[in-house]
Structure formats: C-alpha cells, structure tokens
Structure 1
C-alpha cells in the first residue's frame, strides 16, 4: 500500500496588482520558495490565527489486550 497522502488540488486563477505580484515574488525569492508555496503558507498562517485550521488528530493504537489469566493461579492445592 502506498503511504503517500492524496490531496484534491484546486487551481485558482486570480489577478494580482503589480505591487502585490512584486511583493510575492520578493518573498518567494528571499525564502527560496515558489510563489505558490508562499501563498499556501500565508493562507495557513491566517487560517490558524482565525481558528479555521484544525490540527489533524493522530489516531492512537488501541490498547493491547491483557494477557490471559494463568490457569495455575486459581487452583486449590491439596
């Protein structure tokens, strides 16, 4: 089984003003990231600040079953 996460990607087409685009380009250049990575990070940061990004709950394994009782413990000795 493949352990990679599967995501549904949505492509957004929107217009940025020249100033916004330039700022985004500079941020990406300074961080050595792509503009889309910078945008995703900004969205994540703002969503967390607003309480909109809920952490993923990690599932914990079920507790192990107790060992079977020792049949010799309850025997009556003559």
Structure 2
C-alpha cells in the first residue's frame, strides 16, 4: 500500500476520533451505535483499517458529522 494512502487513512481516523470525542461518545458506545466491535473503531481511528462505506456512513451519522468532513482533503494533505 502506498504511504500516501496509509497517511490519508490515518488522517480520516483522527477526524473520526475527534468527531467521536466532540459527540461525547466512547469507542464502546460508537461501536454499539454502528453495530461493530469496539476493536473495529480502534483500528479505524488508528488508521490500521479502512471502514466499509456503510460503516463509515453510520459513523458519520452517529457522531453527527457530515461524511464529507470526515474524508475531506485539505491544503497540504
């Protein structure tokens, strides 16, 4: 996997973590809302794995953040 893809996956994971924390959700609670294992949330936030699109959509809904904000690319990214 190219390093640029791994780096982008980490940035998306960090945005998910930030949004989760802003929504006052634990990893456990987010996992329950999205119907996945807590370890899945951990791996996504750390950038170890990429979530499936349906999981990503449910995460965005749970943290009340537009999907576009979670996956956006900005200047210098």
Q: Which has the higher contact order (CA 8 A, sep 6+)?
A: 2
Provide TM-score, normalisation by structure 1.
Answer: 0.26
Q: Please identify which structure carries the higher helix content.
A: 2
Structure number, greater radius of gyration: 1
